[in-house]
Amino acid sequence: MNKQFSILAQYYDKLNYNADYKKVADYIERVFELYDKKPELVLDLACGTGSLTLDLARRGYDMTGLDLSPEMLSIASLKKNRGKDILWINQDMCGFELYGTVDAVVCCFDSLNYILDEAEIAECFRLVYNYLNPGGLFLFDVNSGYKFEQIYGKNDIILEKNGILCAWRNNYNKRSGICEFYISLFAEQPGAGYKRFDEIQREKYYCEELLVDLAGLAGFRKLKIFYDFDINKNKEKNKKECERICFSVLKI
């Protein structure tokens, strides 16, 4: 999975300029409140370039950011941090080791969809459970079936921002549940025109029921499900056209 972001890492933030990290951090804190929890030590699993990690650190949480891509972590470590110091760890979310336990783990922005093996999802959940303190919370999200079929599908996407043009061709196979993204990126070079980069990424669709079962098998309880990082979207009517399914579970 780290190879999928070896090239795009340096352009990731520019291409995701509209990502609302404040909204996600607000959602995380609202979920903490729903469980009546005030965690201090928080792990951001698959933290990428660390934008959400930094937002949570500024709110007073003692953050650890873990990611498989050294290129993404390199960018994260260079960002200005006005909160507590952050520990950055270059490890696989399906085989990580921490120096101690934490009070909460968050895994956001469909990071779990990049895991293409159900057994590795189960192992990730087991490790999270292992490194959570009793009473600890695990918040994670995945892309919905609607997003895979209607937004990804076999559609083409063009992104252009600040001297970068990204052509993104999707190919979703409903039978395998895997969507392949064929990405061609053209980045402006100072005094030298544009340079082209090509990369293939893959995500896999996982249904709600499977993830609920895997979380339960890992030992988690008190499940809550929301949609699109909104705690008010937790009713059946909100599921049909949501893009992201958000889960929270507790280690009791």
Mean pLDDT of the chain: 92
Q: How far apart are CA 33 and CA 37, in angstroms?
A: 6
Residue 230: what pLDDT? 94
Q: How far apart are CA 123 and CA 10, in angstroms?
A: 30
Q: Is 199 found in the same domain as 152?
A: yes
Q: How far apart are CA 172 and CA 150, in angstroms?
A: 10
R_g (Cα) of the chain, nearest Å: 18
Q: How far apart are CA 42 and CA 52, in angstroms?
A: 12
pLDDT band, residue 5 (cuts 50/70/90): low
Q: Is 113 found in the same domain as 61?
A: yes
Q: Is 163 found in the same domain as 138?
A: no
Express each pLDDT in 108-138 by its tens digit: 999 999 999 999 999 999 999 999 999 999 9
Q: Is 214 found in the same domain as 101?
A: yes
Residue 177 DSSP SS3: coil
Q: Rounded to the nearest 5 degrees, what angle is found at the Cα of 120, between the Cα atoms of 118 and 125?
A: 100
Q: Is 189 found in the same domain as 107?
A: no
1 pLDDT more than 50: no
Q: How far apart are CA 23 and CA 29, in angstroms?
A: 10
Give residue 177's domain range: 146-204
Q: Is 244 found in the same domain as 134?
A: yes
Contact, 225 vs 246, CB < 8 A?
A: yes
Q: Is 221 found in the same domain as 107?
A: yes
Residue 105: what pLDDT? 98
Tell me the torsion sign for CA atoms 34, 35, 37, 43. Answer: negative
Residue 206 DSSP SS3: coil
Percent of the chain exceeding pLDDT 70 equals 96
Express each pLDDT in 136-158 by its tens digit: 999 999 999 999 999 999 999 99
Number of structural domains (the chain) is: 2
pLDDT band, residue 80 (cuts 50/70/90): confident
Residue 49: what pLDDT? 95
Residue 2: what pLDDT? 42
pTM: 0.93
Q: How far apart are CA 218 and CA 221, in angstroms?
A: 9
Q: Is 160 found in the same domain as 38?
A: no
Q: Is 192 found in the same domain as 92?
A: no
Q: Is 182 found in the same domain as 65?
A: no
CATH number for the domain spanning 22: value is 3.40.50.150
CATH number for the domain spanning 164: value is 2.20.25.110
209 pLDDT more than 60: yes
Residue 191: what pLDDT? 78
Express each pLDDT in 57-75 by its tens digit: 999 999 999 999 999 999 9
Q: Is 120 found in the same domain as 50?
A: yes
The larger pLDDT score, comparing residue 102 to residue 190, is at 102
The CA-to-CA distance between both ends of the chain, in Å, stands at: 32
Q: How far apart are CA 70 and CA 78, in angstroms?
A: 13
Q: How far apart are CA 141 and CA 45, in angstroms?
A: 12
95 pLDDT more than 90: yes
Residue 236: what pLDDT? 65
Q: How far apart are CA 184 and CA 169, in angstroms?
A: 9
Residue type, 203: E
Residue 71 DSSP SS3: helix
Q: Is 166 found in the same domain as 82?
A: no
3-state helix, strand, coil split of the chain in percent (to 5) is 35, 35, 35
**Considering only CA atoms, which of 40, 48, 52 is closest in space to residue 8?**
48
The larger pLDDT score, comparing residue 16 to residue 105, is at 105
